[in-house]
Structure 1
Amino acid sequence: MNILVWNCKGAMKPSFRSTIHDLTNFHSPGIMVVMETCISGSRASEILRTLPYDGIHTIDLVDYARGIWLLWRGDMVDMDVLTAMEQEILAIVKVLSSPSPWLLSSIYGSPRFEERQILWDNLCSVSLLHDLPWTIVGDYDDVIDGTEKLGGKPEVIDKGDSKLKKLRSVCGEEVYKTVVDALLELNDYNSSGRVSSDHCPLLLRLFENGQRRLERSIRFEKMWLNHPGFQQVVEKAWEFMPSLGLAISTFKNLASTWNKEIFGNIFARKRQLLPRIRGLQKALAAQPSAFLISLEQELSLEYASLLNQEEDFWALKSRVDWQLFGDRNTAFYHTKTIIKRKHNRIRRIMNQSGEWIEDEDQVMDIVLSGFKELYQTKHLTFISTADFEIEWAIALSTEDSRKLSTMPSNIEILKALSSLKPFEAPGVDGLHAGFFRHFWHILGSSVIDEILTIFASK
């Protein structure tokens, strides 16, 4: 699960809501901590109603400044707020996919040393009152030493040792160092880049001890078909490949690299392209030129292509016929995708004893054993056809039997493929029927050879 922490420097900015939605879409946090909101009351309530979180706890302003918003998704976590003060929200968190609760402290330290002293004393007291895992996130307005500060006036710790250092010593030097080093080495803690604020959003990825992150194989995306270079990836994968299986394996490796290095993230590209178009149009209004007009047309075509790719992206994931709902209805497709994912996610399952099982490995074992029991028989004997009179039984004619054992023709194989819906659920290889139909002129022979081999071996 992800925790996103952001000092937004004011929630009244026009870009605040769109930035929150973008960060949520990109990182899918179960918990988000927003600091220095500088807003409260009815105006804050109006903004909070538009954010994609159903769990909310806020700290009101102090002297028309500060403010902390603790936001969470109820379908991912249970949150029980224990205390809330001007500089901290302390809560017990229970991730729905995990049986173990833990503490979360959301911090926004006061710029005044005397007030910040109260925060440190409280955190040190809390550390002595529990033995739960504890995550402390936020803006401490403090550093361990002067080397942690870049730019501006040098940090001079002239009021004794850093209070952050004191908190570290209370929690335990070795524990603190082990946790921080592990986070940095695993790259589970990173900055998302500055957006709409001079503070970077911080992303913390949390995983249970022993929890396995299942590797997800790359899947074909319909939007790739709109890129002029994608066919070359397919051609290279199927070139000189002796079998369909090897060609598909090669294609998945090539497509993964191509998607990262060439195709890129369509949402990031769209976000970068819009300011360029707006700036170009302002320049055109001030001083038109043939070059600017040509560049505007080029960027407009690129933007239209991105819109088509975005529509294909969400339509494929929602598995809804786009012809029923019109073009570029990306909001509809996005909603359908989120709903489908929630329905498909198994957080816990009941075993044969009526107990709810939440451990990931145990849930997988129950599902596998259920399918094994479903498709295996416990009968140790079978009924022989010799026990019946064969004369009255229905049987295939000799001609029908001959037709069933005949090798399928190339046309029959293509017709069978064309009868499938092109972009329904993909196969275990991550490829849809529409992919094979679109590139049949490249890979058709390998598919035909594979099917004929299967028929010949049966």
Structure 2
Amino acid sequence: MWLRVEGFKDLVRRWWTGYTFSGSFSHILACKLKALKQDLKTWNREVLGNVFSNKEAALSQIGYWDAKESDLGLSPEEAEARRRAVEDFSKWATMEEVSWRQKSQQPWLKGDENSRLFHKMANARRRRNYLIAIKVNGRRLTKEEVVKEEVLISFQRVLSRIDEWRPSISELAFSVLDREEASVLENPFSE
């Protein structure tokens, strides 16, 4: 949906090249992605806002101009304002459609976006990924704080346990170099 906003790619490119972090390449990548995520969230909130309410606002603006046109007619400036409102509505409606397609993750799904099937597919993934409760030691936990606490305790228990068995390479058969062969490895290069 964001790719439909004019100048979006240039904006992301400018953000990406503007970040400076030091460390390993993977650390730099992770930091840049984290910073980009925050910039995208802020940009989305400030520039796009709520796509659905923006579409409704544009539609009500069109309704206003249509009512005025049927009563008194429109001046050239008002006709231009109505045309801009129609363009805005078209833009927001397209973005809303793309948003629903992204939410449904069903690019093959075509047709009426108001159909029951479309909305069912769009919301199915969200329902599938939503965790209502979790069972820990026979107890059913539903409160988020309690679930977090139990998961933390469980991982601490598993990761802090000292078992008898630890992986070891001591019993594996490796070819061993004698002292003379090992010292040859440390010699300077020669033809």
TM interval, shorter chain, is 0.5 to 0.7
Aligned equivalents of 1:244, 1:333: Cα separation in 2: 37
Distance 2:4 2:10 in 1: 13
Q: Of the candidates 64, 74, 88, which is equivalent to residue 302 of structure 1?
A: 88
Q: Following TM superposition, by how much is the alpha carbon of 1:306 offset from its aligned partner in structure 2, in angstroms?
A: 0.7
In structure 1, what is the Cα distance between the partners aligned to 2:12 and 2:112? 27
Give matches, 1:422-441, under 5 Å.
none
How far off is 1:234 after superposition? 0.8
Task: Select the residue among 298, 316, 326 that pairs with 2:110.
Answer: 326
Relative distance call for 1:245 and 1:289 in structure 2 (3 A) is: same
**Match of 1:341?**
126
Inter-partner Cα distance in structure 2 for 1:315 and 1:255: 20
Per-residue deviation, residues 51-85 of structure 1 (Å, max 9, x unmatched) = xxxxxxxxxxxxxxxxxxxxxxxxxxxxxxxxxxx
Instruction: Report the equivalent of 2:56.
Output: 271
> SS of 2:63's equivalent?
helix
Are 2:11 and 1:233 equivalent residues in the alignment? yes
Identify if the C-alpha distance between structure 1 residues 253 and 357 changes in structure 2 by more than 3 Å, giving closer, same or farther. closer
What residue identity is the alignment partner of 1:335? K
TM-superposed CA distance for 1:381, in Å, is 4.7
1:4-36 superposed Cα distances (whole Å, 9 cap, x missing partner): xxxxxxxxxxxxxxxxxxxxxxxxxxxxxxxxx
Q: Is the 8 A contact 2:59 2:85 kept in 1?
A: no
Change (3 A) 1:346 1:312: same
* Gap regions ≥5 residues in structure 2: 21-27, 175-191
CA distance in structure 2 between the partners assigned to 1:359 and 1:265 by the alignment: 29
Distance in 1 of aligned mates of 2:132 and 2:99: 26
Aligned sequence identity (%): 23
Identify the structure with the greater helix proportion.
Answer: 2
2:148 maps to what in 1? 364
Distance 2:69 2:143 in 1: 60
Q: TM-score, normalised by structure 1?
A: 0.30
Which residue of structure 2 lines up, in the alignment, with residue 259 of structure 1? 44
Q: Give structure 1 stretches of 5+ with no counterpart.
A: 1-222, 388-458
Paired residue type of 1:358: T
How far residue 277 of structure 1 moved from its aligned partner, in angstroms, is: 0.4
Q: Where does residue 183 of structure 2 map in the other structure?
A: none
Report the structure, 1 or 2, having the larger strand content.
1
* Deviation at residue 386 of structure 1 after TM alignment: 2.1
1:276 and 1:382, CA in 2 relative to 1: closer, same or farther beyond 3 A? Answer: same
> How far is 1:365 from its partner?
4.7
1:84-95 residue pairs with structure 2 within 5 A?
none
Q: Please tell me whether residue 282 in structure 1 is matched to residue 60 in structure 2.
A: no
SS at match of 1:380: coil
Structure 1 residue 289, shift from structure 2 partner: 4.5
Residue 229 (structure 1) shift: 4.1
Figure out how many residues of one structure are paired with residues of the other and give that number.
161
Secondary structure, counterpart of 1:364 in structure 2? helix
Q: 1-side partners of 2:104 and 2:74: how far apart?
A: 43
For 1:382 and 1:330, the matched residues in 2 are separated by: 61
From 173, 180, 183, the counterpart of 1:386: 173
Paired amino acid for 1:386:
A
SS at match of 1:239: helix
Distance 1:247 1:358, change over 3 A: closer
Where 2:173 maps in the other structure, the secondary structure is helix
One-letter amino acid of the counterpart of residue 19, structure 2: M
- The CA distance in 1 between the partners of 2:63 and 2:81, in whole Å, is 12
**Normalised by the size of structure 2, how large is the TM-score?**
0.65
**TM-superposed deviation, 1:335:** 3.2
**1: distance between equivalents of 2:114 and 2:172?**
58
Correspondence 1:136-151 to 2 at 5 A: none
